[in-house]
Structure 1
Amino acid sequence: MGKRKASVRSKMEPKKKVQKLATTFSCPFCNHADSVDCTIDLKLRIAEVACHVCKESYSTKAHELTEPIDVYSEWIDECEKVNVPLSDDHRDSSHDDNFV
């Protein structure tokens, strides 16, 4: 009996290293690096980020695909919404200085 021919094997490409996402962040209030930790409780469907230096925190709803970076980004977005002053276009017309 003859041997089977060795099949030509293509070299397998090495697996790419997946970079892990950050789980600790800098606080937008006190600016301490790595002071904000994120906890996600999928049973209660709550995600919370909290700074252990200045004790600021933010909570939101969570689901199976929620990651710590998502919760932190949402917190930053909410902080920016609160800190944006109203422009002149958004003022109520009843407060105009020009009276007729």
Structure 2
Amino acid sequence: MGKRKKSSRKPAPARQKIPLDTTFTCLFCHHEKSVTVRMDRKEGVANLVCRVCDQRYQSKVNHLTEPIDIYSEWIDAADAAQREDPPRRPAASSSRVARAPAYDSDDE
């Protein structure tokens, strides 16, 4: 038997891992890159905090969870809360009860 010929094909280039975002835009104050996600995989908890308006969100994590996943959960939770509690009209600033208009029967 003879020797195998070496392949003339070039090896495939190594895939570069593109880093995912770790800072995001706040849903409430709309500041860019003000929301950070800190994940404690040992405790299984992630904390999301906006450093401008101090909005906070906490979620459970596992070994596959990334910061973008926590941000997406926060968006979903905010949408669900908004659908659940519709905005109400503000109450009148006066604490007095408004009187019903008085009708005089003498003017007839």
TM-score range, shorter chain: 0.7 to 0.9
Q: Which aligned segments of 4 or more residues in structure 1 are displaced greater than 3 angstroms?
A: none
Tell me the equivalent position of 2:40: 41
Tell me the equivalent position of 2:23: 24
Deviations 1:36-61 (A, max 9, x none): 00000012111011000101010011
Tell me the equivalent position of 2:91: none
| Distance in 1 separating the partners of 2:65 and 2:78 | 19
Q: How much has 1:34 moved relative to structure 2?
A: 0.3
Tell me the equivalent position of 1:52: 51
TM-score (norm 2): 0.69
- Number of matched pairs: 84
Q: How much has 1:17 moved relative to structure 2?
A: 2.8
Larger Rg: 2
| Distance in 1 separating the partners of 2:13 and 2:80 | 44
Structure 2: gaps (5+ residues):
87-108
TM-score (norm 1): 0.74
Tell me the equivalent position of 1:12: 11
Q: Counting helix residues as a fraction of each chain, which structure ranks higher?
A: 1
Q: How much has 1:15 moved relative to structure 2?
A: 2.5
Judged with a 3 Å threshold, the aligned counterparts in structure 2 of structure 1 residues 46 and 15 are, in CA distance, closer, same or farther, namely same
Q: Kindly, what percent of the aligned residue pairs are identical?
A: 38
Q: How much has 1:86 moved relative to structure 2?
A: 7.1
Q: What's the RMSD between the two structures over aligned residues? A: 2.1
Letter in 2 for 1:66: T
| Distance in 2 separating the partners of 1:5 and 1:62 | 50
| Distance in 2 separating the partners of 1:26 and 1:39 | 15
Tell me the equivalent position of 1:61: 60
Tell me the equivalent position of 1:92: none
Stretch of structure 1 that moved more, 53-62 or 78-87: 78-87
Deviations 1:39-90 (A, max 9, x none): 0001211101100010101001111111100000000000000112579xxx
